[in-house]
Structure 1
Amino acid sequence: MSAAEPHRIVLFRHAKADWPQVSDHERPLAERGRMDAAVAGRKLADTGIAFDLALCSTAVRTRETWKLAVHELAERPRTVYEERIYEASPGELIAVLNETPDDVRNVILIGHNPGAHGLAGILSGAVEGDARDRMERRGLPPAGFALLTFDGPWKSLEPGVATLTDYWAPAD
């Protein structure tokens, strides 16, 4: 990786979950969630990003979302299932991302709200186009994602250092 190439982070919220009589961590995707996860995977593929690393919450709904979305990508990145992403605050998510090796250029984090949406807002000190306006109108709904870029090592990732370059959410 050359110094001129920015790091890219996609903050990808799990797709719509069902509400069966199980613990929150064990909630599976709803039928709508399964469809939206595949569509989100196609939209991720359309970005042209070759992900080096996927950091995925251990919750059932995030693992199912990633399993459906990753099949749409040209290449499957190394995936790490990380317990700390479940119910994480933006600060806790930054701490997880700060541990990323510097030879990793592009990361996708599959997680939950409010942490994922909060992190997108906290990291983005700049914005391209109308991505922030669209994200503020819709939030980060199930199966939605925000794409951010930043320069410097992963350990330097902190509030305000990234640029929100894209945002996508499934149709209501």
Structure 2
Amino acid sequence: MTGTLVIVRHAKAEHGHGDDHARRLTGKGRAQAQAAGKLLADAGIVPEQVICSTSARTRETLELALEQMPGRPQVDYEDAAYGADDHGLYELVNRVPQDVGTVMLVGHNPAVAQMASSFLDEEAYGGYVAFPPGSVAVVRMEVDWLYAAPGTGAGRLLTG
């Protein structure tokens, strides 16, 4: 079974002057997170499972996005997603059970941008894609989660 991978960069956060892990969303970030959830709901893309970094800004992004969607997915808060590179994010996706159809990953740049870029048509997006706060990429995987790696699916940016 192949599935859909939704890659989300956390929404706009406060500037850091201390504990980076505790940074919260700004007002603009809260609106971005809600807009991301609405885009997904309007597109009929609802996650069954979520992998989310443990930072305050990713958790808040996730909660605000999920408020816009029907149902409630299984959420796995992963310490390993905070500060992970794209290879570390793939390792988290590789552990998703095969019977899960749609997985949402909520994380941080540069890793989420690198991951999203690896699934986008280079001609359409020009290689490495800008992935500002609140960005969403949707990838139709061509392999089971265990084998998810760069280029094993076809992705697009979801915009309003």
Write the deviation string for residues 19-40 of structure 1: whole angstroms up to 9, x where unpaired: 2533111100111101111111
Equivalent position of 1:167 in the other structure: 157
TM-score by length of 2: 0.91
Q: How many Å apart are 1:74 and its aligned residue?
A: 1.3
Aligned equivalents of 2:146 and 2:33: distance in 1? 30
Q: For 1:73 and 1:129, how far apart are their aligned partners in 2?
A: 32
TM-score (structure 1 length as normaliser): 0.85
How far residue 129 of structure 1 moved from its aligned partner, in angstroms, is 9.4
Q: Distance in 1 between matches of 2:46 and 2:123?
A: 23
Given the alignment, which residue of 78, 82, 86 partners 1:82?
78
Q: What is the RMSD computed on CA atoms of the aligned residues?
A: 2.1
Does residue 158 (structure 1) correspond to residue 154 (structure 2)? The answer is: no
Counterpart-to-counterpart distance in 2, 1:9 and 1:160? 13
Contact 2:5 2:103 in 1 (8 A): yes
Give SS of 1:56's match: strand
Q: How many residues align?
A: 160
Change (3 A) 1:135 1:49: farther
* Alpha-carbon distance in 1 for matches of 2:127, 2:72: 29
Query: What is the distance in 2 between the residues matched to 1:111 and 1:25?
Result: 12
Task: Give the structure 2 partner of residue 73 of structure 1.
Answer: 69
Matched, 1:54 2:45: no
Tell me if the contact between 1:140 and 1:169 (Cα under 8 Å) persists in the aligned partners. Answer: no
Moved over 6 A (4+): none
CA contact (8 A) 1:141 1:169 kept: no
Which residue pairs with 2:13 in the alignment? 17
User: Which 10-residue stretch deviates more, 13-22 or 40-49?
Assistant: 13-22
SS in 2 for 1:96: helix
Point out which structure has higher relative CO (alpha carbons under 8 A, 6+ apart): 2
- Following the alignment from structure 1 to structure 2, what is the Cα–Cα distance between the partners of residues 29 and 50? 23
- Structure 1 residue runs of 5 or longer lacking an equivalent are none
Unmatched runs of 5 consecutive residues or more in structure 2: none
SS of 1:51's partner is: coil
**Superposed counterparts of 1:1-172, under 5 Å:** 3=1, 6-19=2-15, 21-122=17-118, 124=119, 127=121, 130=124, 132=125, 136=129, 139-164=130-155, 166-168=156-158
